[in-house]
Structure 1
Amino acid sequence: MSHKVNFTIRDLYYKFMSLNISLKKADVYQILEYLLKMDYSDIISNLEFNVEIDEEKIRSIITDLQNQKPLGYILKYQFFYKRKFYIDNRVLIPRSDTEILIDVALKWIKYRQNILIADICTGSGTIGITLNLETNNPVICTDISEEALTVAKINSQNLQANNTKFYLGNFLNPLIERNLKVNLLISNPPYIDCNDQDISSSVKNFEPHLALYADNNGLWFYQNLVDNLNNIVDLNEPFAVIMEFGWKQKNQINQILKKSKIKIAWEFIRDYSGNWRCVIITNG
């Protein structure tokens, strides 16, 4: 039988803030929303209100946090581009740094109509679903992980992204196997070098390695893209490829693109923290 404990909301807030795990205020408010089933404005307005909470639930969250389990996996959701996405340990946790890819894509799409978009290595589906909802263009989402696609489909249903399709397969293969050519390909692929030791414990111990690590010093997906570009886009029509990369990889990716046998143009773009984050490749 669970044991209930009483707190004011303020005391509960400080209970989490006092943990020696560097929680941000926003993180604690997310935890309170989850525990109390209240939104932020109600919490702020009722800090002296007494609430009854299951003690085991509080203890479980604290233990998870102390074990460096990411908050997104504890709460089972993450916001991305102002939308709430379901997540669990079958997929990477979406990062706000990735939102720059959406802005770059929307800028390219702005004056174009009836385009086909592919979100490759979709994971939880955040990029593809967001672009479908923002533009109403059809989106193909692919992933090598069937479990990840299950999560992406949950989000597509929850957010009513009705014009989305999901294909299982490695990187570009689902497009190539179906002779599909797209106008915009967007991807946040695995890009961490398999030998990279500079990975936080919370990422290394909890997030799916299949979505993190790549061969060829983390550059396999970029080389594969260049090698297969003519198979996935119509070179006679305007196209764009937008790919995220690690902030140290810009120069290496630049060298890969320079060796392309197809005439392309590209631009590197920083995220809103000032780090190099993505590249957009076009046919000019």
Structure 2
Amino acid sequence: MRLSQLKLQFIDHLKDGYPSKEIESFFNILAEKYLGMTRLEVALAPELALNEEQLSAFESALKRLKQHEPVQYITGETEFFGLHFLVDKNVLIPRPETEELVDWIIQDNKELQNLKILDIGTGSGCIAISLAKNLKAEVTAFDISEAALKTARKNAKLNKVDVDFRKLDILKLEKLQERYDIIVSNPPYVREQEKEQMQKNVLDHEPKTALFVDDDDALIFYKKIAELAQVSLRQNGALYFEINQYLHEETRDLVENLGFEAELKKDIFGNYRMLKAVR
């Protein structure tokens, strides 16, 4: 089969489940993964004949895409903040709004040295590793999932940074053993009532423990982390959160009631998705 035929087949099989631009993106991502070809090279080589191994890889990917599995899990990798990350079913796929949170932290702290940073709920390690790569800092990261930490450690090695990854359940922690200049977290914050707004690929495939909280205690992680930060942030230290856009006022009120001054920040879509709190 030729490359142009394969692409037409891809479009035909996926057109009922995805927008055309997304299908095009899928095909280009897979072509880069399985053929080592850029988008331009794909466009310039419609008559390229594919071998059986290549066709089998695309066929397998197509079946998984039909089940709405994220293409990042199919390729096993993604990009975040200009860095390469491995991803699998045990970790959330890093989002653009999380890149904005990382950028905020870097812009606030890029002139400082010898920072101590803690990332709570690290998942793939994308926040911790990006900060370690871009700041002069000693970075520690917690997660409840050993499987997630295994992926995060691979990502730290891949990106040539040192991060101290630890398995901990933050909700069971009475206090932090060290003090930090920065505590950052992108904790679970999606309420059960918001599930109907989410895409099938997220609901069916990404780890639920990293996404969802009970409707009646939606800010449980923010409250716990802010309480720990009350005594574990150094003077002039800052707490950074990715937040639920529908609960931005409640999250701000929560941290302010615990003695912090809070600043909300909108993402590129105009939604309040980030919060900074200082002692």
TM-score (norm 2): 0.89
CA change 1:175–1:81 in 2 (3 A) is: farther
Structure-2 residue corresponding to 1:158: 158
| Displacement of 1:41 | 4.7
CA change 1:25–1:259 in 2 (3 A) is: same
**Rounded Cα–Cα distance in structure 1 between residues aligned with 2:46 and 2:79:** 24
The code of the aligned residue for 1:166 comes to: F
SS in 2 for 1:94: coil
Are 1:168 and 1:174, in contact at CA under 8 Å, matched by a contact in 2? no
Give CA deviations for 1:24-69 in whole Å, capped at 9, x if unaligned: 4333210111221334454344344333243433222111111111
**Rounded Cα–Cα distance in structure 2 between residues aligned with 1:25 and 1:11:** 14
CA change 1:172–1:231 in 2 (3 A) is: farther
Stretches of structure 1 that go unaligned for 5 or more consecutive residues are 1-5
Deviates more, 1:35-44 or 1:218-227: 35-44
Greater helix fraction, Structure 1 or Structure 2: 2
Give CA deviations for 1:139-182 in whole Å, capped at 9, x if unaligned: 10110111110000010111111x211111023767935x2111
SS in 1 for 2:166: strand
Q: Does 1:278 align with 2:277?
A: no
Structure-2 residue corresponding to 1:3: none
Structure-2 residue corresponding to 1:82: 82
Structure-1 residue corresponding to 2:240: 242
Q: CA RMSD in A?
A: 2.0
**Rounded Cα–Cα distance in structure 2 between residues aligned with 1:141 and 1:226:** 16
Stretches of structure 2 that go unaligned for 5 or more consecutive residues are none
CA change 1:174–1:30 in 2 (3 A) is: farther
**Rounded Cα–Cα distance in structure 2 between residues aligned with 1:121 and 1:150:** 13
Identity of aligned residues (%): 25
Structure-2 residue corresponding to 1:191: 189
Q: What number of residue pairs does the alignment pair up?
A: 271
Are 1:13 and 1:29, in contact at CA under 8 Å, matched by a contact in 2? no
Q: Does 1:26 align with 2:25?
A: yes
Deviates more, 1:150-159 or 1:21-30: 21-30
SS in 1 for 2:180: coil
Structure-1 residue corresponding to 2:121: 121
| Displacement of 1:195 | 4.6
The code of the aligned residue for 2:79 comes to: F
Are 1:242 and 1:279, in contact at CA under 8 Å, matched by a contact in 2? yes
The code of the aligned residue for 2:275 comes to: V
**Rounded Cα–Cα distance in structure 1 between residues aligned with 2:5 and 2:189:** 42
| Displacement of 1:128 | 0.4
Are 1:143 and 1:167, in contact at CA under 8 Å, matched by a contact in 2? yes
SS in 2 for 1:50: coil
Structure-2 residue corresponding to 1:108: 108
The code of the aligned residue for 1:180 comes to: E
Structure-2 residue corresponding to 1:203: 202
